[in-house]
């Protein structure tokens, strides 16, 4: 049965990590496996590799065939180098001590290269971080300078406005009489418009009609306003005297008709006792 050393994928989408496994070549990638001998994480720099060195060497000596990626991993960790030296010892090309010395020298050189690479990556990261901090500091300084400039402009504008207000207040104070403030002038205006005997509460309760404004003691009524002048009584016109043809009114006692005397005969038809001629 052909056995392969290969990777089994795990992890999230676009963020994978792998298990180094011993599995049948006919099994699916994430299917059944014989043994797990390590892990491989390519998301770090340099990549993180954990490997059971002895088990990997044993499977290689048994004839297990690694994939291309697993071959690179085994070479990186020195498993292939150890297998090559072991085959030389078996063939008698070198002794066990020489093989161990060569392997130790090779591993030391490999570790130095790996450490140099890690140091380089660390220095690059530090430089990038320092450049980012410096750029942020410059941006913060520029923002602080802009903010200080804006605050200075606002302070200058406020000082200018306050100076203008002070000049206007000084001019207004110069125009007003000495010892009289604007509040006193306003109070005096209100007192002149309202009668002296009317209090503030009465003025609020009693509404003054617009047609007849309140009179002050100094004001005199205008002669042309009919509402302010007293009505003048005009004598009643006597009825014209009637002529002699008109009969006087019945209620006047002085104009009653005179009584007839005994000698006067009554008119015709008024009495049945008229004497015969």
Q: Is the peptide bond before 46 cis (omega within 30 degrees of 0)?
A: yes
Lookup: tokens for 224 = 């042309």
Give Dmax over CA atoms of the chain in angstroms: 217
How far apart (Å, rounded) are the C-alpha atoms in residues 121 and 45? 8
CA–CA distances in Å: residue 23 to residues 9, 29, 130: 13, 9, 47
Q: What is the pLDDT along the chain (277 residues), one digit of tens a residue?
A: 589 999 999 988 889 999 999 998 888 877 888 999 999 999 988 889 999 999 999 999 888 999 999 999 999 999 999 999 988 888 888 888 888 999 999 999 988 988 898 889 889 988 999 999 999 999 999 999 999 999 998 888 888 888 777 777 777 777 765 555 555 545 555 445 544 444 444 444 444 444 444 544 444 444 454 444 545 555 555 555 544 455 444 444 444 444 554 455 555 554 445 545 4
- Per the structure, the complete domain to which residue 41 belongs is given by 3-94
Q: Determine the pLDDT at residue 52.
A: 92
State residue 133's pLDDT score: 92
> Would residue 32 count as lying in a domain?
yes
Q: Provide the domain count of the chain.
A: 1
DSSP output for the chain: --EEEEEEEEEETTEEEEEEEEEETTS-TTS--SEEEEEEETTSSSPEEEE-HHHHHHHHHHTPEE-HHHHHHHHHHTHHHHHHHHHHHHHTSS-HHHHHHHHHHHHHHHHHHHHHHHHHHHHHHHHHHHHHHHHHHHHHHHHHHHHHHHHHHHHHHHHHHHHHHHHHHHHHHHHSPTT--HHHHHHHHHHHHS-TT--HHHHHHSPPPSSSPPPPTT----TT-TTTSPPPPPPPPPPPPP-TTSPPPTT-GGGPPPPP-SSSPPPTTS-TTPPP-
Rounded Cα–Cα distance for residues 203 and 208 (Å): 8
254 assigned to some structural domain: no
Asked if residue 209 is part of any domain, the answer here is: no
- What is the pLDDT at residue 207? 47
Whether 45 is covered by a domain: the verdict is yes
Asked if residue 103 is part of any domain, the answer here is no
Q: Is residue 143 part of a domain?
A: no
CATH of the domain at 58: 3.30.1320.10
pLDDT of residue 188: 52
Residue 234, pLDDT score: 54
The answer as to whether 61 is a domain residue is: yes
**What pTM, to 2 d.p., does this model score?**
0.48
Please indicate, yes or no, if residue 28 is contained in any of the structural domains.
yes
pLDDT at 7: 92
């Amino acid at each position: 049965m052909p056995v392969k050393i290969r990777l089994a994928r795990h992890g999230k989408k676009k963020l994978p990590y792998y298990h180094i496994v011993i599995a049948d070549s006919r099994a699916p990638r994430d299917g059944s496996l014989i043994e797990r001998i390590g892990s491989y994480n390519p998301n770090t720099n340099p990549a993180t590799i954990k490997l059971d060195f002895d088990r990997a060497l044993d499977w290689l000596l048994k004839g297990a065939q690694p994939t291309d990626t697993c071959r690179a991993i085994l070479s990186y960790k020195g498993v292939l180098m150890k297998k090559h030296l072991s085959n030389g010892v078996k063939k008698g090309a070198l002794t066990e001590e020489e093989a161990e010395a060569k392997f130790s020298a090779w591993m030391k050189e490999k570790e130095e290269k790996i450490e140099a690479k890690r140091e380089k990556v660390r220095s690059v990261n530090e430089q990038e971080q320092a450049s980012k901090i410096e750029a942020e500091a410059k941006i913060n300084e520029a923002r602080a300078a802009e903010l200080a400039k804006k605050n200075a402009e606002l302070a200058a504008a406020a000082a200018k406005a306050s100076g203008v207000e002070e000049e206007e207040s000084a001019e207004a104070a110069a125009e007003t009489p000495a010892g009289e403030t604007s509040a006193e002038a306003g109070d005096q205006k209100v007192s002149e418009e309202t009668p002296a005997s009317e209090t503030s509460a009465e003025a609020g309760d009693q509404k003054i009609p617009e047609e007849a404004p309140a009179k002050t003691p100094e004001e005199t009524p205008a002669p042309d306003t009919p509402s302010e002048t007293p009505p003048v009584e005009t004598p009643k016109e006597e009825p014209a005297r009637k002529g002699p043809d008109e009969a006087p009114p019945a209620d006047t006692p002085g104009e009653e008709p005179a009584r007839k005397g005994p000698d006067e005969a009554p008119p015709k038809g008024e009495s049945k006792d008229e004497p015969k001629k």
